[in-house]
A = this chain, B = another copy of it.
């Protein structure tokens, strides 16, 4: 249920109302915009007398919310959410704050990682990405450097100041992620509906969670997975479109669903970013799909950059060289200017 509060209503009265609703065992989401205040109610709202609510002098309107996604719903929070890192410092994400997240698919060595980190920072990236734990379809394949890879990410952060984005695969690694102050915790497409992980990410951390859409996940499912994190206490969720599985498989790995960007921006207040590297699997398609994603309204881009794509341990075919990334970054700036 959505309760719109009349502008300039006394704070005291609003708080009184909130307390009353809290006592009804409802979760109350407060949104205080510049000239708008909205209370979003989650839970069994049947116990609420709508007419009574409407009759309150501070209440402008009351409407039911039939959408199954609640905390992430833009109706509860009309403005874009602007996420900040747990440290309180560093770049913001959403609401006009653009996240340019670049780095290698896998962390391979100190030299590789720090080198790429410096290159992408110089070219304009404001986040460093890199995988320490890799989801592999085969149990017999190399599964990433693990904790040693996390350490290298910390070193690259220390050297460049770039906050880091890296994937959490296993519940038992969450403590390590928290302890090491991983800035943004990525949840991969195979774990989008791993409710075990999602619930724990809600309970244990306030670090932003970069949640990828499932391999063939619907937009609704992506929102509901965000809801699992938010309902458990962490509202800092970034949604990521990364291509969906379709019948068209001849020329690109997945079908990048860019209409998901404006659709999501319309449904939710959470930031929406795009990963053109995994979506296409082809470095030559990454620049045009990056620009298209931004034109579609994305709040950020997650792009793979490798100093030596041909010898990358993982997904070299989709990695840009640092030079190509620098060129793309300049185009991104021109495009964002034009769209302003």
Interface residues of chain A, those whose CB is within 8 Å of chain B, are: 42-43, 68, 70, 135, 137-140, 169-172, 190-191, 193-197, 199, 214-221, 224, 227-228, 231-232, 244-252, 255-263, 266-267, 279-280, 284-285, 288-289, 291-297, 331, 334-335, 337-339
Q: Which residues of B contact A295 (CB under 8 A)?
A: 288, 291-292, 294-295, 335
Q: Which residues of B contact A292 (CB under 8 A)?
A: 258, 261, 292-293, 295-296
Question: B246 to A259, Cβ gap below 8 A?
Answer: no
Known: A138-B227, A190-B193, A258-B292. 6 other contacts (CB 8 A): A215-B217, A255-B257, A261-B292, A291-B295, A291-B339, A294-B295
Copies of this chain, count: 4
**Which of B68, B231, B279, B335 contacts A259, CB < 8 Å?**
B279
Question: A250 to B219, Cβ gap below 8 A?
Answer: yes
**Cβ distance A329 to chain B, nearest Cβ, rounded Å:** 14
Closest partner residue, chain B, to A276 (CB atom):
B259
**Cβ distance A177 to chain B, nearest Cβ, rounded Å:** 14
Question: A218 to B195, Cβ gap below 8 A?
Answer: no
Q: Quick one: which of A68, A171, A262, A337 has the most chain B CB within 10 A?
A: A262
